[in-house]
Amino acid sequence: MLARSILVLAVSAVVASAAAVVNQPEARLFGSSPAPTSPPGTA
């Protein structure tokens, strides 16, 4: 029962973080305002 709740929390956290990255990658990862140029490490 405890393992199931931990699994549900882990899956929901992964889905939430993936959705945040897809929606606003620069704003979420590099600050509130998007960078004028692409951040280092991206193509």
15-25 pLDDT per residue, tens: 888 776 666 65
pLDDT at residue 30, rounded to an integer: 53
> Has residue 41 got a pLDDT over 70?
no
Question: Would you say residue 32 has pLDDT above 60?
Answer: no
Considering only residues 30 and 12, tell me which one the structure prediction assigns the higher pLDDT: 12
Distance CA(17)–CA(33), nearest Å, equals 19
Q: Is the whole-model pTM more than 0.75?
A: no
Length of the chain: 43
| pLDDT mean over 24-39 | 54
Q: Ramachandran region of residue 34, left (φ > 0), alpha (ψ -120 to 50) or beta?
A: beta
